[in-house]
Chains A and B, each alone.
Chain A
Amino acid sequence: MISRVADSCFWLYRYMERVENVARLLDVNLLVVLDTQTNDQERWRPVLIVAGEEPRFIERFGADSADDAQAVQNYMVFDEENPVSIMSSLRWARENARSIRDTISLEMWEALNAFWLWLGESGQKSFARDPHQFYSEVKEQCALFHGLTHNTVMHNDPFNFMRLGMLLERASQTARVLDVKYHAMGPSRPDKESLEEGIEWIALLRSCSGYESFFKKSGVQFGGPSIAGFLILEPDFPRSILHCIGRAVNFIQRVRGADSGPIGEQSAELLGALHARLADTKIEDITSAKAGIHKECTRIVEETARICEAMRLDFFDPPLPQMAKMMKMGSMTQGQS
Chain B
Amino acid sequence: MAESKKAPKGRGKQAAANNVFSGYKPLGNCFDELFGVDGAPHGALGALVNSIDSIGAGEFKARQKLANAAFLKGGITFKVYSDKRGEEKIFPFDLIPRPVSGSDWPRLERGLTQRIRALNMFLADVYGEQRLLKENVIPRELVEGSKGFLKQVKGIKPLNGVYVHVAGIDLIRRPDGSFCVLEDNIRTPSGVSYVLENRRIMKRVFPKVFTQAKVRNVDEYPLRLREALTGVAPEGVAPRLLILTPGPFNSAYFEHSFLARSMGCELVQGQDLFVWQDKVFVKTTKGPQRVGVIYRRVDDQFMDPKVFRPDSLLGVPGIMGAYAKGNVALANAIGNGVADDKAVYPYVPDMIRFYLSEEPILDQVETFICARDKDREHVLANLSRMVVKSVDESGGYGMLMGPQATKKERDAFAEQIRANPRGYIAQPRVEFSTCPTWSGSDMRPRRVDLRPYIVTGKDSWVLPGGLTRVALVEGSYVVNSSQGGGSKDTWVMG
Contacts and interface: CB of A to CB of B under 8 A. Distances in A.
Check if A and B associate.
Answer: yes
A2 B266 contact: yes
B257 interface: yes
B289 A113 contact: no
Residue in A5, A110, A263 with the greatest tally of chain B CB atoms within 10 Å: A5
B92 to A, nearest CB: 18
B292 interface: yes
A219 interface: no
A323 B283 contact: yes
A282 B239 CA distance: 54
Given A318-B283, A331-B287, A334-B237, A91 B276 contact: no
Interface string B268-282: 110110101000011
Interface in A292-337: 315, 318, 320, 323, 326-327, 331-337
A157 interface: yes
A4 B283 contact: yes
B289 A4 contact: no
Contacts of A315: 285
A52 interface: no
Contacts of A323: 274, 283, 287-288
A101 interface: yes
A2 B288 contact: no
A336 to B, nearest CB: 7
Contact of B290 (A91, A117, A335): A335
Interface residues of B, number: 39
B272 A2 contact: yes
Nearest to A325: B287
Contacts of A110: 73-75
A81 B56 CA distance: 48
Interface range for A = 35 or more
A316 to B, nearest CB: 8
Given A2-B272, A4-B269, A101-B261, A326 B72 contact: no
A101 B442 CA distance: 37
Contacts of A3: 272, 283-285
A263 B292 contact: no
Interface string B455-472: 000000000000000000
A318 B267 CA distance: 19
Interface in B104-124: none
A5 B266 contact: yes
Given A4-B283, A335-B239, A91 B73 contact: no
Nearest to A3: B283
B248 A2 contact: no
Contacts of B72: 117
B102 to A, nearest CB: 32
B83 interface: yes
B261 to A, nearest CB: 5
B286 interface: yes
Contact of A98 (B237, B248, B272): B248
Nearest to B242: A2
B285 A333 contact: no
A255 B248 CA distance: 26
Contacts of A95: 83, 248
A208 interface: no
B240 interface: yes
B238 A106 contact: no
Contact of A334 (B75, B238, B253): B238
Interface string B281-316: 111111111101000000000000000000000000
A188 B376 CA distance: 91
A335 B292 contact: yes
B134 interface: no
Contacts of A334: 237-238, 240, 289-290
A101 B257 contact: yes
B289 A336 contact: yes
Interface in B176-226: none
A333 B261 CA distance: 24
Contacts of B253: 98
A31 interface: no
11 contacts: A1-B285, A3-B272, A98-B257, A102-B257, A110-B75, A113-B73, A320-B274, A333-B286, A333-B289, A333-B290, A337-B240
Interface of B: 72-75, 83, 85, 237-240, 243, 247-248, 253-254, 257-258, 260-261, 265-269, 271-272, 274, 276, 281-290, 292
The 6 A-B residue pairs with the shortest CB-CB distance in the complex, in nearest-first order: A335-B238, A102-B260, A101-B257, A335-B240, A102-B267, A3-B283
Given A101-B75, A326-B288, 11 more contacts: A2-B266, A3-B283, A5-B266, A98-B248, A102-B260, A113-B73, A263-B285, A323-B283, A326-B287, A332-B290, A335-B290
